[in-house]
Amino acid sequence: MYLVDDNQILELFFARSEQAIKELDSKYGKICHKVSYNILNDLQDAEECVNDAYLGAWNAIPPERPNPLLSFLCRIVRNQSIMRYHAKTAMKRNSTYDIALDELENCLSAKRSLEDEFEEKYLIDAIENFLDSLSQENRVIFMRRYWLCDSYDDIARCVGITEKNVSVRLTRIRKQLRNYLKQKGVLV
């Protein structure tokens, strides 16, 4: 099966061709649905969020020319899914997304007040630097769990290790992250 490359898809967007959405779905639909489903745990809601994300991409391109396109699209899907998740569940705890967030809870400050842009940028930079310090395999494990909200089983199959190994590695990475952020003065 021939897939159109990202630049060709972007050109379709810039030409305002509806074929852009079809090509986007053909190339990235599966991962978008997986990301949304991992957050929402509901196929119909995930489908609606992915469609909303496609509309968001349609409205943003042009003038945006995202590179990489997949990251741009996944960010829209995640944001749509998280908004829907919060609207539907309020305080209920029922998805892989909840579990993944709970795992990271002890690494990040519990404050929920608004922080100024400098503190936010500092935290982002600290986390990016931490991720850069990880091996590629550990970085993939971390990002698949906390960005894509993959289950331990999905990660184990992707990386070629056992679920138990995924669990142990994530525990160690979270501990390293917590220590790293403390050293950087991010945690109180």
Is residue 17's pLDDT more than 90? Answer: yes
Boundary of a domain, candidates 89, 112, 135: 89
List, for residues 28-69, the tens digit of each pLDDT value.
999 999 999 988 889 999 999 999 999 999 999 999 999 989
Say yes or no: 121 and 173 in one domain.
yes
pLDDT score recorded for residue 87: 80
Say yes or no: 168 and 111 in one domain.
yes
d(CA 130, CA 167) in angstroms, rounded, equals 19
- 4 pLDDT band, cuts 50/70/90, is confident
Say yes or no: 70 and 140 in one domain.
no
Q: Which domain holds residue 123?
A: 96-183
Closest by CA to 7, choosing from 18, 20, 17, is 20
Closest by CA to 93, choosing from 80, 107, 103, is 103
Is residue 148's pLDDT more than 80? Answer: yes
Q: How many domains is the chain built from? A: 2
Say yes or no: 174 and 106 in one domain.
yes
Question: Can you tell me the mean pLDDT for 93-98?
Answer: 62
Enumerate residues 6+ apart whose C-beta is below 8 A from 154: 144
d(CA 96, CA 37) in angstroms, rounded, equals 9
Say yes or no: 82 and 103 in one domain.
no
Q: Which residue has the higher pLDDT, 18 or 102?
A: 18
d(CA 150, CA 147) in angstroms, rounded, equals 8
Is residue 100's pLDDT more than 90? Answer: no
d(CA 152, CA 75) in angstroms, rounded, equals 21
pLDDT score recorded for residue 188: 41
- Under 8 Å between Cβ of 158 and 150: yes
Helix (H) or strand (E) holding 160, with range, is: none
List, for residues 102-114, the tens digit of each pLDDT value.
676 666 555 545 4
Q: What's the CATH code of the domain at 133?
A: 1.10.10.10
- Under 8 Å between Cβ of 36 and 46: yes
- 116 pLDDT band, cuts 50/70/90, is low
- Under 8 Å between Cβ of 81 and 46: yes
Boundary of a domain, candidates 44, 62, 89: 89
Closest by CA to 178, choosing from 126, 136, 115, 139, is 126
Say yes or no: 83 and 157 in one domain.
no
Q: Is residue 188 part of a domain?
A: no
Q: What's the CATH code of the domain at 64?
A: 1.10.1740.10
Say yes or no: 27 and 52 in one domain.
yes
Q: Reduced to 3 DSSP states, what percent helix, strand and coil does the chain have, rounded to the nearest 5? A: 75, 0, 25
Is residue 98's pLDDT more than 80? Answer: no
Boundary of a domain, candidates 54, 89, 124: 89
Q: Is residue 1 part of a domain?
A: no
